[in-house]
Amino acid sequence: MDAFYILIVFLFHLDRRSPRSAGALVIVGCSHHPHRADDARAAKGLSPSYRQRQALAEASRRNAEALRAMGMGPRVGARWCTLNEKFLTTYQRTSDVSGGFGAMSKVMLMLLQSAVLASAPIS
């Protein structure tokens, strides 16, 4: 979609090509930056922690009677809470980064649209 916007920019008003192109490149950079950010490692860590958490929950569900009979419920619950907290911390950090870049991309898009409209000649 971003490449389509850049193509359209070059088709309209050759004299205003550079500000629009610069703005489009900033928006493209904002939308693709989360994939290259330092927290991309955190996003990769999200899947294993989710799988561990779900595997423990499923195993606990299947073996609920045995866990209860042996009195292991509180220990398994504490382990699940630890895995869940790790997952939620990683998820929150990843969500904050991608949400921040998404918001910045939207702000830049609005600024670019306002700049283009402000520079348009009145006929």
Please give the pLDDT value at position 76.
Answer: 92
Compute and round to an integer the Cα radius of gyration of the chain: 24
Question: What is the residue extent of each domain of the chain?
Answer: 2-119
**Chunked mean pLDDT (size 10), the chain, 123 residues:** 64 61 69 58 73 91 92 92 90 82 80 74 63
Cβ neighbours for 123, distance < 8 A, ≥ 6 positions apart: none
Residue type at position 5: Y
Give this prediction's pTM: 0.57
Please give the pLDDT value at position 122.
Answer: 66
